[in-house]
Amino acid sequence: MDQKKLDKQSQYWEDNFSSKPEMFGLTQSLSAEKSLKLFKEKKIDKIIEIGAGLGRDTVFFAKNSINTIALDYSPSGIKVINQKIKKNNLSNFISTKLFDVRKKLPFEDNSIEACYSHMLYCMAMTTKDLKKLNNEIHRILKPGGINIYTVRHTNDGDFKNGIHIGEDLYENDGFIVHYFSEEKVSSLLNGFKNITLEKFEEGKFPRKLFFVVNKKI
């Protein structure tokens, strides 16, 4: 495993977010639309978004009356989200925190109804990192709370393209992606029950992803 390459990804994302503040577009992701439907069904009105990026899903949730605490380790990403909060008058629905999710999450045990992340799990983190994050999410969720995440899977057209970093991580055009098999999703179920494991596609390529919903048990 090339840990130095993994560690450099934070600066790579910072450079991209600072130079391309709308690199993912202005509209919400398909996963955010799927998640909102689930939040409404379960009457969840407050969530943690882990790895909020440039805030396109954050703003979407807030505009649909979901109180969102947005975490990201990029200062430029947080700056863009704060600008969007001001522009859209959403300060009552969004708060932001500059935070590296490889550390202990800054929330009390059993205090959160739901966590959401779009493609955070398939960033430059090892399986060990992911299990640590997953355990932290389990810690902060209330009993019966849900964790929603999306990941690119091993049927994606970019899988095994580029430089192999270790495990199922590959670097392509500077970005490192951790590709998931169904077995890897299952390996992260410690303390969770899987509710949804659904394949979907997003973007022009398109990216091939899993939409995962796990419930704390």
> Can you give the residue ranges of every domain in the chain?
3-20+28-216
As a whole number of angstroms, the distance between CA 101 and CA 80 comes to: 19
For residue 2, pLDDT beyond 80: no
For residue 92, name the pLDDT band (cuts at 50, 70, 90): very high
For domain 3-20+28-216, the question of CATH label 3.40.50.150 is answered with yes
Share of the chain above pLDDT 70, in %: 100
- pLDDT tens digits, one per residue of 125-159: 999 999 999 999 999 999 999 999 999 999 999 99
The structure's pTM equals 0.95
143 vs 204, more confident: 143
Hey, what are 7's tokens? Answer: 């560690």
Q: Which of 108, 105, 109 is nearest to 117 (CA)?
A: 105
Report yes or no: 123 and 177 within 8 Å, Cβ to Cβ: yes
For residue 22, name the pLDDT band (cuts at 50, 70, 90): confident
Cβ burial of 18 (10 Å; 0-12, 13-18, 19+) is middle
